[in-house]
Amino acid sequence: QVQLVESGGGLVQAGGSLKLACVASGRTFSTYAMGWFRRAPGKEREFVSAITRSGNNVYYADSVKGRFTISRDNAKTTVYLQMNSLKPEDTAVYYCAAGRSLATAQEQYDYWGQGTQVTVSS
């Protein structure tokens, strides 16, 4: 069992930056690939980014490529999402998830956090 707790969300103006963190419980963090997803108001939850267990490979949705950076610190059992050049359309609840392999499909992830709200004002 893995418990995930996100933090770092908030209100920011367009063009600004935020860094999300997701801390995992347990000593098996390094055995999981980690992903970030988001759900905007009135929309389905969508993939944002993912990182392999070692951190050597990452993947991004086209909508955030070049603006967001995913990273992880296995010693701290934490995965991060650095978000730069934020746009109003990035407004959403952001969730981290743990799965057995790097994937974009939500079904491939076994554990989910409760989410953190990111609001970007224009």
CB half-sphere exposure, 57, CA atoms < 13 A = 7
Confidence of residue 117 (pLDDT cuts 50, 70, 90): very high
Q: Rounded to whole angstroms, how far apart are CA atoms 89 and 112? A: 23
13 — alpha (psi -120 to 50), left (phi > 0) or beta? Answer: beta
Q: Over 80: is that where the pLDDT of 102 sits?
A: yes
Question: Can you give the pLDDT at residue 27?
Answer: 74
Pair 17, 82: CB distance under 8 Å: yes
Report the share of the chain in percent with pLDDT over 90.
97
Q: Over 80: is that where the pLDDT of 19 sits?
A: yes
Pair 112, 24: CB distance under 8 Å: no
Mean pLDDT score across all residues of the chain: 96
Question: Can you give the pLDDT at residue 69?
Answer: 98
List all residues 6 or more positions away from 98 whose beta carbon is below 8 Å from its beta carbon.
2, 4, 24, 29, 32, 33, 34, 35, 109, 110, 111
Phi then psi for residue 43, to 5 deg, are: -125, 165
Mean local confidence (pLDDT), 87-110: 96
Confidence of residue 26 (pLDDT cuts 50, 70, 90): confident
Question: Can you give the pLDDT at residue 120?
Answer: 98
Question: Can you give the pLDDT at residue 76?
Answer: 96
